A and B are shown apart, each in its own frame.
Chain A
Amino acid sequence: MRDLLAAVHALRERLGEIPQADERRLQDLKTEILGRKAGALTKILGDLPKLQPADRRSVGAAANVLKRDFEAAFAARERDLARASRATVGLDPTMPGRPSWRGGLHLVTQVVAEICDIFRELGFTRAVGPEAETEWYNFGALNFPKDHPAIDVQDSFYLADGLLLRTHTSPVQVRTMEQYRPPIRVVSPGQCYRRDPFDPSHAPVFEQVEGLVVDEGVTFVDLKATLSAFARQFFGPHTATRFSPSYFPFTEPSADMQVSCSVCHGAGCPTCKQTGWMEILGSGMVHPAVLENCRIDPEHYSGFAFGMGPHRIAMVRHGIPDIRLFFEGDVRFLAQFSGEGAP
């Protein structure tokens, strides 16, 4: 029995020969060790019945383990040899790999998400509201004077029952202030409608992201700081911002924010019309009349609001010349912005 065990151990030594064996030597080794008739290990296994039951178990276990190890080693070497032989019979590694269908999110969805993510870092949550709105939420509560030219730039699609398709997501400001008490820090993404025919820079439907902050002691400095921080996150850490007076009925003071051109970094290029600056968003301190409309005391609370158009921002940042491309659903266009590179 000791002989058999020694023989098993001795055979194990020979495992080391297998990884170097060529095809022929591998066949020889296989016959020599596992051969059906004269294989060394086959013989050992064949001799097992002659042993005492206790010995049979210990030698048998060792022999069976060794048999498995040999089989695995032979198989591994055979695979290696096979692979090597394939590679050498003229496979061309420059042939294309096997692709699978890819998909991706619309660029505007990505930009909206990016904007909301940056504002999430700045403590904002998302709030949404209906696209078919009442005139009160879309205009009245936002301090738009009735029958005033300020409404002209927001030419609306009207529905029955005094409803219209919202011309901005600002109604969500009002709905949020009615439902929650300050402090309020929200951004509201969503689809808006204006009665502008399609042309390269206008679409009757477009995405907007609006924001609203209301709390005690919120100031114009907070507005500038928050929006500048956003711009640096979105356009890069060296982005400069500048604010200039503007007009929105629901904010006072109102401000447009421009950022240094992300294409030319201020040197002047077609994207920024040679000015070095790009207009990105409108903003302002919430008008006291709007706060009052939402039963928030403007002597006690103040706030700021802002709004931007992801379509426009995407056009500027990605050099897209025509807004209509966003609506055509052309797979070649969509794939360009899948983040995987063009197929």
Chain B
Amino acid sequence: MIVSRRWLEALLGRALDPQDLERRLGMLGAPVEGIVPLHQDLADVRVARVLEVKQHPNADRLTLCLVDVGGSGGAGPVEVVCGAPNVQAGKKYPYAAVGAVLPGGAKLERKKIRGVESNGMLCSAKELGLGEDHAGILELDTDAPPGTPFLDAYPIADHQIVIEVTANRPDLLCHKGVARELGASLGATIKLPELPVGRSDRRTVGPNYRPAVRRPDRGAVDGVEIRLEDAEGCPRYMAAVIRGVRVGPSPAWLAGRLGNIGQRSINNVVDATNYILFELNQPLHAFDLARLRGPAVVIRRARAGERIVTLDGVERTLTAEMTAICDAERPTIVAGVMGSAESEVTPATTDLVLECAYFQPTRIRRTRRALGLSSESSYRFERGIDLFGMPDALRRAIEAIVAVAGGEVREALDLWPQPIHEKTIFLRPERVAQLLGMTVERRDIEQLLSAIGFVVAPKDSRLAVQVPGWRPDVTHEVDLIEETARLKGYGAFPDELRPYRPGTVPDAPIERAKERVRQAIARGGFYEARTFPLGPADGPDAVEVLNPLSAEEAHLRTRLLPGLVRRVEHNWAGRNRDIRLFEVGTVFRRGTSGVAERTAVAGVLTGARRPPHWTEGAKVPDMDIWDLKHHFELAVRLAAPACHVQPAPGGALGWVAVKRGGGGDDVGGWAGALEADAPVWAAPLFGFEVRLEVVELAPALYRALPVTPPVERDVALVLPPDVTAEAVAGVLHRTSGTLLEALDVFDEYRGPGIPADHRSVAWHLSFRDPGRTLREGEVDKILAAAMRALEDELGVRRRAG
């Protein structure tokens, strides 16, 4: 919402400082987003008086003016060449000296005009950006002495104050509402300014204007029949007929008022209704009586399929859910949203119907959403306007139209099928203290609420508070408590910590689990990414978003890996080859009932196994499938300790994590090579993803550190095809029992000396008895038994030599 400082000043009858305004409004809950000074580009222009006008020696149409430009230092009058026909000695005009910067940014140069040097220039309205008039220079009606800054002398300087208005405060969508709040803060009262009466000599509104005639749902106004058939969509409808208006350009004061809040001037009638809109928050609609068939105005639900060409020139199809203002035949206005091009006020209009209505907010909201069409009016109706302020708004609108466009009003009609009163809410002063934590005196409460238009009366131990129509948001006692706190100022309340009781909610286990996993994976050299969870469908059971921002982002992820792969590609695009990223995040699947959410952990790795170092010179090897397996196993231990890692089924080299004792169906993780859009210089890309299970980890128990020496053996074994290292390790463990403390592969070999298809795998075995020193002979015996078992069961022999 943009308000004009000058407009507020007119309502409050006092000068306002924009910075002070910003502070006050912020503390009242209407934060100022910006202050835009207007016409600052006229800062160099000053008031000057023409002392003498002479003919230019070399040009008929030019004059030489002796001009008093004021200023210090006794500079004396200067000579200015002027081309305006209206220049007159003794009058004052805006003057720009040589070097002054004018609107548009041009700097005034010293120059000769037809042989005579001009010391600056006298300016037209157009040159100052104040209008289109450039036939003559702008004559100033001011007492200000020459040399006075133009902006101080001529009432056009203004500030646009951009206010953020929350959805609950429609009252702040007009100058009167903002002034009301400021008035409470400043201790000032508001009064609507007199409307300057222009050229109209037939000012028929005023003392003779009778209040509108109240009827339930039908009546006539000045020969126009008005029927309110949709009282649900339009609880109250007022109308007046104004005859004999002269549609034309707005007077400067009106165009200026609107221009200063960024509204384009259209014509005097439309501008007058807009003026009331921005003054009182009452949208009004003036339409041409001559175009009205009947003549009648019918407020009814639209018929499905009825068409209307709105002011913006678009043909729109209405539905039965919308309210339309119609003549005897067809819709002329989409109620509360926009009128038709056809019924628009034009320069030819002489008689018009002025509509002042209250439309039901949700009806307007649905209508404008369905049509995809918003207007200043719909914005306000949707938030709720002042149902009780309508008669005053209509009256002032008639005044404004007559003031700027002339015309005559005989009567007005007020259709209100089910009149209601302002609501009254009871407020317990002790409840204020209970909720706010500080006592606010009863008198204080009364004063604060009264200052913004609530009517407060004591009722037993309570206060009966009548809520003004412009505050539809105030419906409960707690709303009045908020008003009290707001007007008192939040700063008035202390902020010392008081004792509190501990809560009953346990800390969420999933959050602990995520924390633990994130830290451990980061320690493994991975950076945490947080990827965008929407993308193309990445699985058959991906959850679809019904209203995505784009077709490529229409599904929730079922896995984290695709998102991470896109992030790897992003890093590749930045010419980074060494990438290790992980993510802990939510994944979604269509479940039997709605959406199934899980937390997953995923990592991707590519590039050098460690950073290069000058001592090693040669290129560091790239990470391979074995780096992946290590990180996968770690992730499974961290995130899904109930799973164990086994080779993935199918051809490709990879692994899965399978729930122990789950029969192999319950797969909780996967690891393998990944496809990606990789540059030629990129290293292979690998990734893993594991489902995060929430398990309460038992605290780690101490195991006594060994004091007896180990006995160590290295054995190289020849494995036939299809015999896995895991199978060999299984036999070794089984035959050695608990004495085999550690078993590690340290080499693999294929080639000369080993039968074809066979391979040699070397293990380091470490035996230990925690209770005593093992004898070499014992170990030899164990090993011999193990070798026999290996040969019998797997055909594995010790490698010769």
| Interface residues of A, Cβ cutoff 8 Å to B | 95-96, 98-106, 108-109, 113, 116, 120, 123-128, 130-132, 146-150, 152-153, 157-161, 163, 165, 176, 179-186, 189, 191, 195, 197, 204-205, 213, 215, 217, 219-222, 224-226, 228-229, 241-247, 249, 252-256, 285, 287-289, 302, 326-332, 334-335, 338
Q: Which of B382, B526, B543, B614 contacts A103 (CB 8 A)?
A: B526
* Interchain Cβ contacts under 8 Å between A and B, 22 examples: A103-B523, A108-B530, A128-B508, A131-B586, A157-B534, A157-B545, A195-B549, A204-B534, A215-B501, A220-B438, A220-B485, A221-B436, A221-B495, A244-B28, A244-B31, A245-B486, A302-B435, A327-B530, A329-B568, A331-B571, A331-B576, A335-B527
Closest residue on chain B to residue A227 by CB atoms: B495
Name, among B482, B570, B585, the residue most crowded by chain A CB atoms within 10 Å (CB to CB).
B482
* Residues 45-90 of B at the A interface (beta carbon under 8 Å): none
Which residues in A have their C-beta under 8 angstroms from that of B586?
A: 131, 191
Contact of A96 among B382, B503, B578, B613 (CB under 8 A): B613
Cα of A329 to Cα of B585 in the assembled complex, Å: 14
Min CB–CB distance B254 → chain A (angstroms): 30
Question: Contacting chain A: which of B163-171, B338-346, B632-640, B672-680?
Answer: B163-171
B545 interface neighbour in A130, A147, A158, A247, Cβ under 8 Å: A158
Among residues of A, the one whose C-beta sits closest to the C-beta of B525 is: A101
Chain B 487-506, CB-CB to A under 8 Å as 1, else 0, gives 00011011111101111111
B528 within 8 A of A: yes
| CB contact under 8 A between A105 and B534, given known A191-B586, A243-B491, A288-B476 | no
> Per-residue 0/1 for B360-371: is the Cβ within 8 Å of any A Cβ (1 yes, 0 no)?
011001100000
**Given A157-B547, A157-B548, A184-B505, A244-B29 contact (CB < 8 Å):** yes
Q: Which 9 interchain pairs have the tightest Cβ spacing? A: A219-B437, A245-B29, A329-B567, A221-B437, A185-B503, A247-B166, A329-B529, A101-B525, A253-B482
- Residue from A101, A149, A163, A242 in contact with B382 in the complex, judged by beta carbons closer than 8 Å: A149
Residues of chain A lying within 8 A (CB to CB) of residue B209: none
Whether the Cβ atoms of A205 and B496 lie closer than 8 Å is no
Residue contact A334 to B529, C-beta cutoff 8 Å: yes
Q: Which of B481, B494, B505, B570 contacts A328 (CB 8 A)?
A: B570
CA separation between A231 and B779, bound complex, in Å?
Answer: 66
User: Roughly how many angstroms separate A98 CA and B531 CA in the complex, as a whole number?
Assistant: 32
Q: How far is the CA of A185 from the CA of B502 in the complex (A)?
A: 7
Are the CB atoms of B546 and A101 closer together than 8 Å? no
Residues of A within 8 A of B365 (CB): 147-149
Docked-complex contact B504 and A109, CB < 8 angstroms? no
> A245-B490, A302-B435 known; A186 and B503 CB under 8 Å?
yes
* CB-CB contacts below 8 Å: B516-566 with A: 518-519, 521-534, 543-549, 553, 556, 564
Contact B167 A109 (CB under 8 A): no
Task: Contacts A105-B518, A224-B495 given; indicate if A329 touches B503 (C-beta within 8 A).
Answer: no
Q: Once bound together, how far apart are the Cα atoms of A176 and B81, in whole Å?
A: 80
- What total of A-B pairs shows CB separation below 8 Å? 266
Is B479 in contact with chain A by the CB < 8 A criterion?
yes
Query: What CA separation (Å) do A332 and B494 show in the bound complex?
Result: 45
Cross-chain contact A103 with B168 (CB below 8 angstroms): no
Q: Are A124 and B436 in contact (CB under 8 A)?
A: no
**Contact of A186 with B505 in the complex, beta carbons under 8 Å:** yes
Q: A105-B522, A217-B434 are in contact. Are A331 and B528 (CB under 8 A)?
A: no
Query: Does B461 lie at the interface of the complex (its beta carbon under 8 Å from any beta carbon of A)?
Result: no
Name the A residues within 8 Å of B745 (CB-CB).
Answer: none
Partner of A252 from B478, B564, B581 at Cβ < 8 Å: B478
Distance of A335 Cα from B594 Cα, bound (Å): 38
Q: Does B510 sit within 8 A of A, measured CB to CB? A: yes
* B695 is an interface residue with CB less than 8 A from chain A: no
A191 close to B527 (CB less than 8 A): no
B306 at the interface (CB under 8 A from A): no
Contact A244 B567 (CB under 8 A): no
Contacting A126 at CB < 8 Å: which of B504, B507, B546, B571? Answer: B507
Distance (Å) between the CB of B720 and the closest chain A CB? 38
Contact indicator A150/B167 (Cβ below 8 Å): yes
| Given A106-B529, A148-B365, A204-B553, 8 further pairs, Cβ under 8 A | A160-B543, A184-B505, A222-B500, A245-B27, A245-B29, A245-B485, A287-B478, A331-B579
**B159 at interface, CB cutoff 8 A:** no
CB-defined contacts of B416 to chain A, threshold 8 Å: none
B626 to chain A, nearest CB (A): 16
From B476, B497, B527, give the contact of A225 (CB < 8 A): B497
Whether A330 contacts B26 in the complex (CB less than 8 A), given A99-B611, A125-B506, A247-B167, comes out as no
Chain A residue, CB-CB nearest to B25: A244
The interface residues of chain A lying within 8 Å CB-to-CB of B582 are 103
Looking at the complex, which one of A125, A241, A332 makes contact with B503 (CB distance below 8 Å)? A125
Q: CB within 8 Å of A: which residues of B? A: 26-29, 31, 166-169, 361-362, 365-366, 382-383, 434-438, 476, 478-479, 481-482, 485-486, 490-491, 493-498, 500-508, 510-511, 515, 518-519, 521-534, 543-549, 553, 556, 564, 567-568, 570-571, 574, 576, 578-582, 585-586, 588, 594-595, 597, 610-611, 613-615
**For the complex, what is the distance from the CA of A96 to the CA of B615, rounded to whole Å?**
10
Given contacts A95-B614, A126-B511, A127-B508, contact A147 B166 (CB under 8 A): no
C-alpha gap A253/B548 in the complex (Å): 35
Closest to B604 in A: A329
Instruction: Please state if A247 and B29 are interface contacts (CB–CB under 8 Å).
Output: yes
A329 and B568 alpha carbons, distance in the complex (Å): 8
**Contacts of B166 on A, CB cut-off 8 Å?**
246-247
Docked-complex contact B167 and A152, CB < 8 angstroms: yes
Q: Which residues of A contact B522 (CB under 8 A)?
A: 103-105
> Which B residues touch A204, using CB under 8 A?
532, 534, 549, 553
B351 to chain A, nearest CB (A): 36
Rounded to whole Å, the gap between the CB of A20 and the closest CB of chain B is 32
- A195 CA to B554 CA in the complex, in Å? 12
Residues of B within 8 A of A146 (CB): 362
Which residues from chain B contact A165 at a C-beta distance below 8 Å? 545, 556
Q: Which residues of A contact B27 (CB under 8 A)?
A: 244-245
Residue of B nearest to A97 (CB): B613
Whether the Cβ atoms of B435 and A285 lie closer than 8 Å is yes
Q: How far is the CB of B285 from chain A (nearest CB, A)?
A: 21
Cross-chain contact B486 with A253 (CB below 8 angstroms): yes
What residues of chain A lie closer than 8 Å to B383, measured between beta carbons? Answer: 149
Contact A219 B595 (CB under 8 A): no
Q: How far is the CA of A31 from the CA of B26 in the complex (A)?
A: 92
Tell whether, in the assembled complex, residue B528 and residue A105 are in contact, meaning their CB atoms are under 8 Å apart: yes
The minimal Cβ–Cβ distance linking A204 to chain B, given in whole angstroms, is 6
Residue of B nearest to A246 (CB): B29
Tell me the nearest residue of chain B to A215, going by C-beta: B501
Pairwise interchain contact A100-B611, C-beta atoms closer than 8 A: yes
Q: Let me know if A334 and B505 touch, CB within 8 A.
A: no
The listed residue (A102, A132, A147) touching B588 by CB distance below 8 A is: A132
A331 / chain B contacts, CB cutoff of 8 Å:
527, 571, 576, 579, 581
- Nearest chain B CB to A148's CB is how many angstroms away? 7
Please give the distance in Å from A131's CB to the nearest CB on chain B: 6
Q: Please give the distance in Å from B551's CB to the nearest CB on chain A.
A: 14
- Which of B435, B515, B578 is packed against the most chain A CB atoms within 10 Å? B435
Does the CB pair B167–A222 fall under 8 Å? no
Closest to A124 in B: B503
CA distance A220 to B533 in the complex (A): 37
Residue of B nearest to A184 (CB): B503
- Inter-chain CA distance A228–B521, complex, in Å, is 35
Kindly list chain B residues whose C-beta atoms are within 8 Å of the C-beta of A182.
504
CA distance A102 to B523 in the complex (A): 7
Closest Cβ–Cβ distance, residue B266 to chain A (whole Å):
26
Most buried by B among A104, A116, A163, A332: A104
Whole-angstrom distance between the alpha carbons of A34 and B614 in the complex?
Answer: 41
| Residue of chain B at shortest CB distance from A106 | B528
What's the minimum C-beta distance from B700 to chain A, rounded to whole angstroms?
23
Q: How far is the CA of A326 from the CA of B382 in the complex (A)?
A: 37
Shortest beta-carbon distance from B108 to chain A in Å: 32
Distance (whole angstroms) from the CB of A286 to the closest CB of chain B: 10
